[in-house]
Amino acid sequence: MEQVAGQVRALDGLKVIDVSSFLAGPFCATQLAEFGADVIKIELPTIGDALRRFGTITPCGDSLPWLSECRNKKSATLDLRKPEGAELLKALVKQSDVLVENFQPGTLESWGLGWETLKEVNPRLIMVRISGYGQTGPYSGRPGFGRIGNAFGGLSYLAGFPDRPPVTPGSATIPDYLTGLYGALGVLLALQALQKTGRGQVIDLGLYETIFRILDELAPAYHMKGYVRERMGPGTVNVVPHSHYPTSDGRWVAIACTSDKIFSRLAEAMGMPEVGGDGKWGKITQREAQREQVDQCVGDWTGRHTRDEVLALCESYQVPCGPVYSIDEIFKDPQYAARENIKYFNDERAGEFAVPNVVPRLTDTPGRIESLGPALGANNDEVYRVRLGLSPERIEQLKSAGVI
């Protein structure tokens, strides 16, 4: 992904205040920052965001998740619980476009910084509010994290094998990232609406809602038929073979036959063309009725070949198939290299560093990574002296009082 220094980005000029913590809110703001938004990350004085201490700690004192997921931001310290801190935030909001927060509902209101107050300060403000259960409903006051979003949203129940307990569906942080992404989408939609109405608005997201939204036919199937989908291991409802299969060299491949035509091609690749087409497994209804036998047959075939052999055969017959990669294999793969999906650079605080590159890929106004997560309060002078016009004496007073 070529990134030209100085090239125009889609969100150049957008001013964002990020008062959120840990992951969902910060990731939302990071998406905006990667495409040009000027994002100020507000953190508690001396303490900072808890994400700084979560995960692998680097020699510079901050964690890998902080350096990766709070990139392209400026850090300013501010205690919103103090009246002077609340007033300073209002001053920043007055000259900003977006504010991102993920406190429990009612927290900002208790500090005099709720939506009703902030929209009076800036009627054009767009406010992203992320919480475990959203701003309304009987559970709105409950705390929530990604693991709870996976569970309450319906994904955890589906993860694992039918005769075993539910497992973590890949990562407990999926709802955080997904909700952050929906938050960034909400900002883009609200900016479009702002051009038409002249008014800002709230983007209200619960962590569980974004999980529930992506569960394909789960809701309509239950409503129509009373069908409760159970755990299926690596298998997939409605299609077969559509799973993970072992290879002779101790590795795994993912094969996805989403149509009868693709299965016929797989049958040819396996040297068993008679089971496809008009054969015993040629129709999805036939394969569904004998799911275990079909998966066993495909697994026996893949198990007689190395992973590379299976991949080559499937490619030659145009059967969707891919390796089940570990992270070390991702770093070696030529597709990742060609697409520059991993960004390498030398950071003055963290040294040699690698992070996932910007997504999505825009051809004319691409995003880019300019810096990793900043040191705590690294931009206090720029925020308070330059942006708000405070004198050095006033800044020192605020610092002594623990406001910044």
Catalytic positions: 176
Q: Which two tokens stand for residue 353?
A: 């560093």
Which residues pair with residue 323 across a beta bridge? 253
Tell me the C-alpha distance between 369 and 357, whole Å: 8
Answer yes or no: are the C-beta atoms of 268 and 317 closer than 8 Å. Answer: yes
Answer yes or no: are the C-beta atoms of 178 and 102 closer than 8 Å. Answer: no
For 252, list phi and psi in degrees, rounded to 5. -135, 150
Answer yes or no: are the C-beta atoms of 243 and 235 closer than 8 Å. Answer: yes
Q: Is the peptide bond before 143 cis (omega within 30 degrees of 0)?
A: no
Tell me the C-alpha distance between 294 and 291, whole Å: 5
Looking up tokens 């920043």 gives: 92
Contact partners, residue 191, CB within 8 Å, separation at least 6 = 14, 97, 126
DSSP 8-state secondary structure symbol assigned to residue 387: I
Tell me the C-alpha distance between 151 and 338, whole Å: 37
Answer yes or no: are the C-beta atoms of 255 and 266 closer than 8 Å. Answer: yes
Instruction: Provide the 3-class DSSP secondary structure of residue 294.
Output: helix
**Residue by residue, what is the 3-state secondary structure of 204-221?**
EEEHHHHHHHCCCCHHHH
Q: Which two tokens stand for residue 387?
A: 């942006």
Instruction: Give the residue ranges of DSSP H helices in 56-145.
Output: 64-69, 83-94, 107-110, 115-121
In angstroms, what CA-CA distances link 117 with 112, 187, 351?
A: 7, 20, 43
Tell me the C-alpha distance between 35 and 15, whole Å: 12
Instruction: Provide the 3-class DSSP secondary structure of residue 246.
Output: strand
